[in-house]
Structure formats: structure tokens, C-alpha cells
Amino acid sequence: MTPLETVAAGFTPYPAEFAERYRAAGHWRGETFGRMLRERATAHGERIAVVDPGGHSAAREERRWTYAELDRRADRMAAGLIARGIRAGDRVVVQLPNAAEFFEVVFALFRIGALPVFALPAHRYAEIGYFCAFTGAAAYVVPAVEGGFDYRELASRVRAESPSLRLVLVAGEDAGEHVRLADVPCDGPGPSAHPSPGDVAFLQLSGGSTGVPKLIPRTHDDYIYSLRGSVELCALDEGSVYLCALPAAHNFPLSSPGSLGTLYAGGRVVLCPQPSPETAFPLIEREGVTVTGLVPPLALLWLDAAERGARGHESLEVLLVGGAKFSTEAARRVRPVLGCTLQQVFGMAEGLVNYTRLDDPEELVTTTQGRPISPDDEVRVVDDQDRDLPDGVTGHLLTRGPYTIRGYWNAPEHNAKSFTADGFYRTGDLVRRLPSGHLVVEGRAKDQINRGGEKVAAEEIENHLLAHPAVHDAAVVSMPDPYLGERTCAYVVLKPEHRQAPPKGVELKRFVRGRGLADYKVPDRVEFVEAFPATGIGKVSKKDLRAAIAASLARP
């Protein structure tokens, strides 16, 4: 199979009648990312597209790239990647910090028709090795050293075990045994064919609820529609300055409206090396930032800092908060404390994104998670038997629409469970719908912990715990946390022969970390029990475990 055939084989296309409807409605306009950047460069070439303050391993000094420069760089990077054997349909794992190179590489790949696989800086050997193996990745792009972690070493290890991986590119001065990203661009021939708007543009990651992360295939047409819709609802235009404070590759800061939405609107993206108020506020002030997106724990940190008198945030007009539930109490503080409009956003990399509208009454903005972008987003709230529920009653959220996937990439068994026969995605979220169409997130049915916006699939962590020689069984559940909303608690049953001299909790944490897992997935707490509480039919009752840890935390 050619790389393009491999991509197509794992992709569940939109049924023809839906594709036609979305085109007829003007949602899908036949745009692609490669051409979008070219058009913006033609329309306003000398305007600044990306500001990177530097100070990371990709570059010490500040960079300010115009649209024309980003466009030119993407072309030269595309030519260089082609010269090094990257072809349409190749998968390329991109794991970069918030650096200008992220856009140079990603737009180059878009132009070639190669697919970025959007890894996060926090991912380690377990995740990256899996992404490379599962996608058959041809290349992997990393920084040199970032946050004290040497990605070149990780890349060497991954490369030794991934036969498909032909190329490791390092953003930074010293690439070690790999290739310097800065040495790739050239003036050679560009791509011979352009990707089609209906082609898969990239693979995004799901927070997941299964043993291994799932990959989300998004097309140019569907994703660009979600950008256009977001740009409109967030009122972005050429004068907008978006601060990318969360990891750039995550779906929220990428597309809601995020950096890609900002570039779509002809605005300016300012990359923030890390999201603390100490770093972000001065940058906001210096660059005249007008809009940004944060997860709830960071929004709380910003609110507290501003209340204590920290300044610099004054140019902010809109603050988007999403990724996890933002409490009404915190939401009410945004306008008085930060002086900007709050926009709640409830989205998912699989598609559906809900926003509160900028002109919604304060009550809706502070108590709901918004309503869908598109009039063609179909939302169902159903009971356990998939029967529709009336407004106001909490149930499972199912959705289908012009930018929601019809299947994970290459996951037929899982797709049979995650999608209804007629193509609705089972989000795993429990919501209540108001007559206005606004949704209130009430909880979660999926086996996942939402650690302040960072999703942890319980089963994935349980599998790692089960690999420990002393562990007989493991059940990972959420526990309440005042700062992150939730943290992870691992309940563990030891093998009988290990009960006399049990390992300590920290040892199990160290063990999980040692298996090369992203830090945020390491259990925050480990509890040893003799047996798990069971449900009526004998399954582990996670409900009881959650209640037990919550009760024990509540005791003084």
C-alpha cells in the first residue's frame, strides 16, 4: 500500500449524502491548509503572523514572522522534507514546544499532504513509541532539550524500536545523532500534487478511555469549517492577537479558535512559553494580546494573580475557558477581576465544539458550557437505552455533524462501540440541555479522569500498574481536588505473597513513571485494598471507589 492508501484504509469517510449537504450549506468550501496560508500571505503578506519570544531550545532569540515569511518557510521546509523522502500520506509525529517552528513544520506537512500526528510535550516513551508504531510514522520532530528533558535521547530510543521511522528532526542547535530541523529547508522542488479538501489533514489525539490512546483523523474541509465557525463566534479579525498559552498542538489552543483560527482570520499568534501569570501577563502587555484560551486551573491562577494586583492583562478582551468544567463561582469572577468577556468552550478533538456567545446574558455565560458552533451539529441527549430525553434532563451526549469524525483511525472494534449505527459519536459526557440549546456538563460516563483539562484514561494506567510484579488488580478513579477539579487515585489489590511486605505507594508511582508515561498520568495517590467493591453483576464498582476516596479526603 502507498502511504495515501494506508491513510485512507484507516479512515471512516462522511457518507456521501452528508458530505453533499455540508457542501451545499456552504460549510465545506473546498479549502485546504496549504492554500489557506498562501491566500493569507497574498492578502496581507507583511502583517505579522507569528511571534515567538524565544528562550526555548528551538531558538534563544525572539522571532516575528510575517505571513509572507511563514508562507516562504513552509514552502522551503516542504521542499526539504520531500528531498529527505517525506511523501503525501506519510505520518509524522510532531512533538514541539510553543515555538515558531511548529507552524513552519505543520504547514509544510499540510502542503505535502503528509499528516502531522499531534503529540504533546508531556508525552514520553510509552506514548511516542505507540504513536510511531501504530501510525507507521516516517518521521518524528522534537526539540533538543526542553523543560530539563532530553527529547533527542527519547527519539534515539524510539527510533531503535520503530522500523518505519526514517528521520528524526531536532529543533535546536545540537541535534546529536539526528538531523537539525534548521538544515532541512531548501529551494528544491515542492509537492507535485496538492491534497484534496476531503483528505485527512492530520491525526489529533483523543484523551481516550481505553488501554491505548486513539487517533482522530480530521480533514481539511471539516477542520477549516470549525475554524471559520469559531472565528465568527469569537469575533476574531485581522486585529486579533491570540496568546497560545496551552501546548500548541492540543485541539483547544489549535482550533477553538486557537492559533489556526487566528491565522485563518489574518490575526497574530503570540506563542507563550509557559502559561503562568508571571510569564503571560508581561507578554500580553507587550504584544497587545486580545484573546486567549485556558483550562480552568490556569484561569483560577490568573484570577488570583490579578486579584493580588498583578498587571499586564488589561488588553485582553476575551478569555476562553474549557477542557474541563469551569465552576460558576470562578466564571462570575472573570469580568470583574480580569475586565474581559468570558467565553466558555466545551469541545473535543473528535469534533463538536460548544461556545457561549459573546452577547449571551451573563447567567448563561457563567452557568453553561455553550451551544454548538453549527446549525448542522446534531445533538442528542439520551438515556442508557439510547432513548431521547427531554430538555432539562441529564443524559448521554451523542453528536453528529459537519466537523465531527465518523470513526477513529484504524479502530474498527472500538468504533463499533463509540459510534451509533447511524454515525453519532458517543462523547461519554453527561449533559443537560436548556431550551436555548446551551449545554451544561453534569459529569462523565466514560472511564476517564479529567485532571484540569488533561485527560487520563483509567484503563491505560491500570494496564501499567498490572505490569508490576506485586500487583494483582488495579482500578484507577478520580478524586476531588480543589485546584485541578480531579486527580487520579489508583486502588490496588496486591498478590497474596506480597501482602506481608507490601510495596509503598511511591514505589508504584515510580514504577509507572519508569515505564515512560507522561507525568500527568502517574497516579496522584495509591490506596491498597484487599478486594474491590463489586456492582450487582460483579464488576468493579468504580462508583463506590470514588465515593470511598472522596469520603476519606473529606474527613479532617
User: Cα 91 from chain centroid?
Assistant: 18
Residue 441 found at the interface with ligand AMP (CB under 6 A): yes
Whichever of 229 and 323 has its CB closer to ligand DBH, that residue is 323
Residue 399 binds ligand AMP (CB under 6 A):
no
Asked if residue 70 lies in contact with residue 37, where contact means CB atoms within 8 angstroms, the answer is yes
Alpha-carbon dihedral sign for residues 167, 168, 171, 175: negative
DSSP string covering 463-529: HHHHTSTTEEEEEEEEEEETTTEEEEEEEEEE-GGGSSSPPPHHHHHHHHHHTT--GGGS-SEEEEE
Closest separation between CB of residue 206 and ligand AMP, Å?
5
CB of 111 to ligand AMP, least distance (A): 26
Helix (H/G/I), strand (E/B), else coil: 535: coil
356 touching ligand AMP, by CB under 6 A: no
Tell me which residues touch ligand DBH (CB under 6 A).
251-252, 255-256, 322-323, 345, 347-349, 353, 453
322 is a contact residue toward ligand AMP (CB under 6 A): yes
366 counts as binding ligand AMP under rule CB under 6 A: no
The one of ligand DBH, ligand AMP, none whose footprint includes residue 206, by CB under 5 to 8 A per kind, is ligand AMP
Rounded distance between C-alpha atoms, residue 97 and residue 245, angstroms: 11
- The SS3 assignment for 152 reads helix
Select the span of 280-288, 340-348, 406-414, 460-468 touching ligand AMP (CB under 6 A).
340-348
369 binds ligand AMP (CB under 6 A): yes
Grid cell listed for 191: 509537492
Residue 346 makes contact with ligand AMP by CB under 6 A = yes
What's the grid cell of residue 419?
Answer: 459510534
Considering only 91-99, 124-132, 347-355, 486-494, which stretch makes contact with ligand AMP by CB under 6 A?
347-355
- CA 422 → CA 10, 185, 329, 418, 425, distances in Å? 19, 45, 39, 12, 9
Q: Rounded to an integer, what distance in angstroms lies between the CA atom of residue 364 and that of residue 273?
A: 33
Q: Which one of residues 257, 347, 351, 423 is an interface residue with ligand AMP (CB under 6 A)? A: 347
Least separation in angstroms between residue 250's CB and ligand AMP is: 8
Q: Which does 290 bind (CB under 5 to 8 A by kind): ligand DBH, ligand AMP, none?
A: none
Convert 229-266 into a string of H (helix), E (strand) and C (coil): HHHHHCCCCCCCEEEECCCCCCHHHHHCCHHHHHHHHC
Q: Which of residues 495-554 bind ligand AMP (CB under 6 A)?
A: none
Site for ligand AMP in 237-296 (CB under 6 A): 251
The answer to whether the beta carbons of residues 465 and 508 sit under 8 Å apart is yes
- The least distance separating ligand AMP from the CB of residue 83, rounded to whole angstroms, comes to 35
What distance in Å separates the CA atoms of residue 138 and residue 163, rounded to the nearest whole number? 9
> CB 278 → ligand AMP: shortest distance, Å?
25
Are 89 and 2 in contact by the 8 Å Cβ rule? The answer is yes
Pair 522, 451: CB distance under 8 Å: no
Q: Does 374 bind ligand AMP (CB under 6 A)?
A: no
Residue nearest to ligand AMP (CB): 207
Using CB under 6 A, pick the residue from 348, 411, 476, 508 that binds ligand AMP. Answer: 348
Give CA–CA dist 98/325, Å, rounded.
25
Give the bridge partners for 215, in sequence order.
205
* Count of residues in contact with ligand AMP, rule CB under 6 A: 21
Which of ligand DBH, ligand AMP, none interacts with 255 (beta carbon under 5 to 8 A by kind)? ligand DBH
- In angstroms, rounded to a whole number, what is the distance separating the alpha carbons of residues 456 and 49? 34
Q: Which of 52, 104, 287, 429 binds ligand AMP (CB under 6 A)?
A: 429
Which option in ligand AMP, ligand DBH, none does residue 256 bind, with CB closer than 5 to 8 A by kind?
ligand DBH
Which residue in 197, 323, 351, 452 binds ligand AMP (CB under 6 A)? 323
List 32, 57, 98, 206, residue binding ligand AMP (CB under 6 A):
206
Judged by beta carbon distances under 5 to 8 A according to partner kind, the member of ligand AMP, ligand DBH, none in contact with residue 427 is: ligand AMP
Cβ 223 to ligand AMP, closest distance in Å?
14
The smaller minimum CB distance to ligand DBH, of residues 234 and 489, is found at: 234
Q: Is position 444 an interface residue for ligand AMP (rule: CB under 6 A)?
A: yes
Task: Round to whole Å and give the CA distance between 167 and 298.
Answer: 36
> Closest CB to ligand DBH among 229 and 347?
347
Q: Using an 8 Å Cβ cutoff, are 168 and 176 in contact?
A: no
Footprint of ligand AMP (CB under 6 A):
206-207, 251, 322-325, 344-350, 369, 427, 429, 441, 444, 450, 455
